[in-house]
C-alpha cells in the first residue's frame, strides 16, 4: 500500500527568485552536492521559453548510503531517478509535478508541488507544499522502506528550501 506524505515549508526567498534559480544549472549542481554528495548526478535541465523547467537527476544508492537492514536486501547497483517539472501558474505561483522511479527495486513515487507567495513576518517570501506518495513492492519490507524515504523527504524539503534561500542571498 503506498505511503503518502505532505510537507509545507516557508522561506524568505520570493517565488520569482526561487523559480529563477530553478533555471540555473550551477544552482542544481550545488544543491545535488549538498544533498547527495558524489552519489547524485544532474542528468538534464531543460528550460522552456514559457518558464517551464524540467530537471532529471539520478542517485546511486550505494550500500554505504542505506541503513544496513535495507542495504542487505537491495541490489548493489540500485539507482533512484527523479524528475521535477515546474511551470508558472496564476497568482504568482509556480506549480510542479515530480516522479520517482528506481532501477533494481520495484518501486515508484509521484506527487505535486506548489510554490506560492507567503509572508514570513514582514518579509515577502514563499511557501512550498509537496504532496506525494511512494510505493515499494517488496514483500515484508516495502512498508519500512516507504516510511524511511517519506520521512527523509519530509525532513529534507525544509532544508533544501533553506539552501535555496541562502543560495539566492549569496549568489543573486
Lowest mean pLDDT among 68-77, 107-116, 132-141: 68-77
Confidence of residue 6 (pLDDT cuts 50, 70, 90): very high
Task: Please write the tens of the pLDDT for every residue from 10-35.
Answer: 999 999 999 999 999 999 999 999 98
Find the farthest-apart pair of alpha carbons in the chain and give their distance in angstroms, rounded.
50
Domain-wise residue ranges, the chain: 3-171
* Nearest-angstrom CA–CA distance, 33 and 101: 20
- Over 80: is that where the pLDDT of 70 sits? no
pLDDT at position 19, please?
97
With CA atoms as reference, report the closest residue to 93 among 13, 11, 19, 23: 19
Q: Mean pLDDT score of the chain, rounded to an integer?
A: 90
- pTM here is 0.89
The CATH fold assigned to 3-171 is Alpha-D-Glucose-1,6-Bisphosphate; Chain A, domain 4 (3.30.530)
- Over 60: is that where the pLDDT of 169 sits? yes
* Nearest-angstrom CA–CA distance, 96 and 166: 22
Task: Find all residues with CB under 8 Å of 89, minimum gap 6, and list them.
Answer: 95
* Sheet hosting strand 79-88, strand order edge to edge: 3-11, 123-136, 107-120, 94-103, 79-88, 53-60, 40-47
Task: Please write the tens of the pLDDT for every residue from 77-109.
Answer: 788 899 999 999 999 999 999 999 988 788 999
* CB 42, CB 57: distance < 8 Å: yes
Q: Which sign, positive or negative, has the C-alpha torsion 155, 80, 69, 35?
A: negative
Counting other chains too, the contacts that 107-116 makes at CB distance below 8 Å and 24 or more residues apart are 107/134, 107/135, 107/136, 107/137, 107/138, 107/142, 107/145, 108/134, 108/135, 109/133, 109/134, 109/135, 109/149, 111/5, 113/84, 113/86, 115/15, 115/18, 115/19, 115/86, 116/15, 116/91, 116/92
Amino acid at each position: 500500500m503506498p505511503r503518502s506524505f505532505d510537507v509545507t515549508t516557508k522561506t524568505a526567498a520570493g517565488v520569482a527568485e526561487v523559480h529563477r534559480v530553478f533555471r540555473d544549472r550551477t544552482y542544481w549542481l550545488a544543491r545535488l552536492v549538498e544533498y547527495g554528495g558524489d552519489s547524485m548526478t544532474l542528468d538534464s535541465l531543460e528550460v522552456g521559453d514559457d518558464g517551464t523547467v524540467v530537471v532529471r537527476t539520478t542517485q546511486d544508492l550505494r550500500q554505504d548510503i542505506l541503513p544496513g537492514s535495507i542495504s542487505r536486501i537491495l541490489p548493489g547497483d540500485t539507482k533512484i531517478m527523479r524528475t521535477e517539472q515546474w511551470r508558472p501558474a496564476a497568482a504568482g505561483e509556480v506549480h510542479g509535478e515530480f516522479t520517482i522511479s528506481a532501477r533494481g527495486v520495484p518501486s515508484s513515487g509521484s506527487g505535486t508541488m506548489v510554490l506560492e507567495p507567503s509572508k514570513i513576518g514582514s518579509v515577502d517570501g514563499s511557501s512550498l507544499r509537496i504532496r506525494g506518495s511512494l510505493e515499494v513492492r517488496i514483500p515484508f519490507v516495502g512498508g519500512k522502506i516507504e516510511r524511511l524515504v517519506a520521512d527523509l523527504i519530509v525532513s529534507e524539503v525544509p532544508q533544501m528550501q533553506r539552501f535555496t534561500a541562502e543560495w539566492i542571498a549569496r549568489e543573486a
